[in-house]
Amino acid sequence: MIIPVDVSDTAKPGDDLLSTCEFATGCKAILKDDAFEFPRYCYGKNMKEYRYVYGANLGHNYETKQGVVKVDLKKRTSKVWHKDAADQMCAEPILVNQPDYIEEDEGVLLVPVVTTNENDTPYVVVLNAKTMEEEGRFLIPQSRIPLGFHAHYLKFKVTLEIDTESKAFAGHVPSWLKGTMLRNGPGMFKIADTEFRHWFDGMAYIQRYHFVDGKMFYSARYLESDDYKKNMKAQRIVTTSFGTRTFPDPCKTIFQRLASYFTPDEPLDNASVAFATVGDGVYALTESPYMVRIDIDTLDYLEKVDMRKYLSLHIYSAHYHSDAEGNLYNVGSMFGPSSRYVFAKTTNPLLGASEGHGMEKTELLGTVPAADPWAPAYYHSFGITENYFVLFESPERIRLRKVIFKNLLGATFNECMYYDPSLQVNVILFDRINRKQVDRKITSDAFFTFHHANSYEKDGFIVVDYCKYDNPGNFDDLILDHMRKGSLISKDRKLVPFLHRMIIPVNVSDTAKPGDDLLSTCEFANGCKAILKEDGSIHCTDVRMCDISFEMPRYCYGKNMKEYRYVYGSIAGHRNEPKQGVVKVDLKERTSKVWHKDAADQVCAEPILVNQPDYTEEDEGVLLVPVVTTNEKDTPYVVILNAKTMEEEGRFLIPQPRLPLGFHAHYVPRPEL
């Protein structure tokens, strides 16, 4: 080998520097144009075949402004970003891939640039990792920064402040609006080269909308649960989820992987569904026994609580109810040869105490056996009144025998579920005062519901409102590939919910006969029926309350378990009125009002009703509605609607390209601010 010690200033890339060497005898020394150090690449491709390497140029004889290079290992080509001056030096470039990236160069490079001239200001450039074009830069207002060695990127939340003087705001904000709205839902669907299959599976992404003094502060971050940390460490999906098969954990030996086929899955703590206030704490929830307490200002993960310390169960609803004293009520399921539904109460930890947020005061109220112990029903929420839990045991069932062997079969929990339209709905009434099931059997025709609105008792009847699906199938419309192809707006979609009402008689007269409609004397039946059957059971027929399809029903929670009038919801897609966004249903008059979004391809998240202080009517207040955009040219925004008139009072633009749709939101009033 012959190595040239000096390189002529006239030498160019591709030149053989031994061309004038009389004793080269076949040796060559080709001048390259991509001399660099600090190589970085997409770490999601670590230990796998990859294509791109980035690095900091170390200085070049013929092109002294070269700063950062991107090398295409497949094509053996390169792209270069040029710094401002030859005497500047680029530090190690850090590649930050965008969420849900598919190609390894989707993202940005963060590159600090060190200056040696005292008249220059050091800066950080943000480069497009695909094109190597500069997207932005930040000046660092100090004379020098050291070059240093290496860098490391950590994901933190980003906070945006938007006030009423900003161009990102229009309208006005009520002066009494002081509080924090949290939104929960899946936000990360791809980890390196592995992808979640179902919408329910993504990593929890918590958003914070904080309102005070006419300003909105927006921040968001991924919930750093144990599931999140395991997946990030492995750089692939290794934790269990609803509809995605896990990928082998590279940290496990072959024997550990084999054993995992015969070991029950550890419950999820990826709390991506909803929230609940417990005393002076707020918890993120999913449908596993785990709940996660968070800091509502920093969105930090504070602690994980395992409800199996207090109750024997396998799943626990993410939709708690609370009473006027702040006590919480929930329903769970215990699986096995004698599967049962579990009814529980958690006493408010602040009763008799100045502070507290624990679940230690959780108690079992009772259990009810499943109609088919090997095929218990799946439910997402329940109704509650002053005296009763109302649980729909629907035809959406879980094959427990398949669940037991799902790891060995390579099946997901979703694939262990099925919908049997030949089954009726068993309406379970559980007396929460006397702690026992109501003996009389109550049924209805087949349907499924994700979300209940309010329930209450009146004149010896129980009124239950809910968004009803005639046949949801196996939730295949929510498989991500299907959603991307328009499953939620197609003509053949199965998930078409409508608000319905069921009225259940609590007592049956001794003079009633089989075939009698037990609602015949009910002045507010409005088409609902409850037919007494030969075996003494009651078969209920519900009635549709609104012809606009919507989900995420919300109402004035001060009227919880009481007679009420208004329900609000996010319109689930309307073929004839594609810009319909949020609906207000007047249950008394059977009428509705609609707020229209800007474009048909936008999606309204769950509307949150915030009643004004000292309200007397349940629609006195505002609705907070984040609007998610699907067009890259649109900017997501939050609208503030007058809850009485459904007119827009104000909106805040959120200056980032996308917001995940998410599931549920929770408002924490903070009048002390």
* pLDDT at position 261: 38
505 closest CA partner among 449, 457, 561, 446:
457
* pLDDT at position 334: 96
Q: Compute CA 243 distance to the chain's CA centroid, rounded to the nearest angstrom.
A: 15
Query: How large is the average pLDDT for residues 291-316?
Result: 95
Query: How large is the average pLDDT for residues 424-453?
Result: 97
Q: Could you tell me the pLDDT band of residue 253, with boundaries at 50, 70 and 90?
A: very low
* pLDDT at position 519: 97
Summarised one tens digit per residue, pLDDT across range 258-269 is 344 344 456 789
| Statement: residue 476 has pLDDT above 80 | no
**Do residues 469 and 445 make contact, with C-beta atoms less than 8 angstroms apart?**
no
| Statement: residue 663 has pLDDT above 90 | yes
d(CA 345, CA 330): 7
* pLDDT at position 198: 86
Query: How large is the average pLDDT for residues 415-426?
Result: 94
Summarised one tens digit per residue, pLDDT across range 367-415 is 999 999 999 999 999 999 999 999 999 999 999 999 888 777 778 888 8
Query: How large is the average pLDDT for residues 274-278?
Result: 97
pTM confidence score: 0.78
Domain regions of the chain by residue span: 37-155, 179-669
* pLDDT at position 260: 41
* pLDDT at position 529: 98
* pLDDT at position 232: 84
* pLDDT at position 138: 81
Residues contributing to the annotated binding site: 319, 380, 451, 664
Summarised one tens digit per residue, pLDDT across range 504-534 is 999 999 999 999 999 999 999 999 999 999 9
Give the 3-state secondary structure percentages of the chain, helix then strand then coil, rounded to 5: 5, 40, 55
Q: What is the DSSP string of 154-208?
A: ----EEEEE-TTSTTEEE---TT--EEEEE--EEE-EETTEE--BGGGSEEEEEE
HSE-CB of 398 using CA atoms within 13 angstroms: 23
Summarised one tens digit per residue, pLDDT across range 161-216 is 666 555 567 788 899 999 999 999 998 888 877 888 888 889 999 999 999 988 89
Q: Could you tell me the pLDDT band of residue 452, with boundaries at 50, 70 and 90?
A: very high
Q: Could you tell me the pLDDT band of residue 256, with boundaries at 50, 70 and 90?
A: very low
Summarised one tens digit per residue, pLDDT across range 571-618 is 976 566 789 999 999 999 999 999 999 998 899 999 999 999 999 999
* pLDDT at position 111: 94
* pLDDT at position 257: 40
Q: Which two tokens stand for residue 263?
A: 């070991």
Q: 33 has which bridge partners?
A: none
Q: Could you tell me the pLDDT band of residue 153, with boundaries at 50, 70 and 90?
A: confident
3-state helix/strand/coil string of 434-500: CCEECCCCEEECCCEEEEEEEEEEECCEEEEEEEEECCCCCCHHHEHHHHHCCCCCCCCCCCCCEEE
d(CA 468, CA 541): 13
Summarised one tens digit per residue, pLDDT across range 55-112 is 998 765 555 788 999 999 999 899 999 998 888 889 999 999 987 788 999 999 999 9
| Statement: residue 494 has pLDDT above 70 | no
Stronger pLDDT, 143 or 551, i.e. the higher one: 551
| Statement: residue 335 has pLDDT above 80 | yes
Q: Could you tell me the pLDDT band of residue 489, with boundaries at 50, 70 and 90?
A: low
Instruction: Put residue 33 in one of left, alpha, beta given phi > 0 → left and psi -120 to 50 → alpha.
Output: alpha
d(CA 388, CA 630): 42
- Quickly tell me which residue has 């999606």 as its tokens: 603
Q: Compute CA 218 distance to the chain's CA centroid, rounded to the nearest angstrom.
A: 16
d(CA 205, CA 223): 6
Torsions phi, psi for 260 (to 5 deg): -65, -25
* Mean pLDDT over each residue of the chain, to the nearest integer: 88
* pLDDT at position 194: 85
Query: How large is the average pLDDT for residues 340-355?
Result: 92
d(CA 566, CA 251): 53
Summarised one tens digit per residue, pLDDT across range 532-578 is 999 999 999 999 999 999 999 999 999 999 999 999 999 976 566 78
Residues contributing to the annotated binding site for Fe cation: 319, 380, 451, 664
Containing 392, the helix (H) or strand (E) segment is strand 388-393
63 closest CA partner among 39, 30, 38, 33:
33
d(CA 443, CA 437): 15
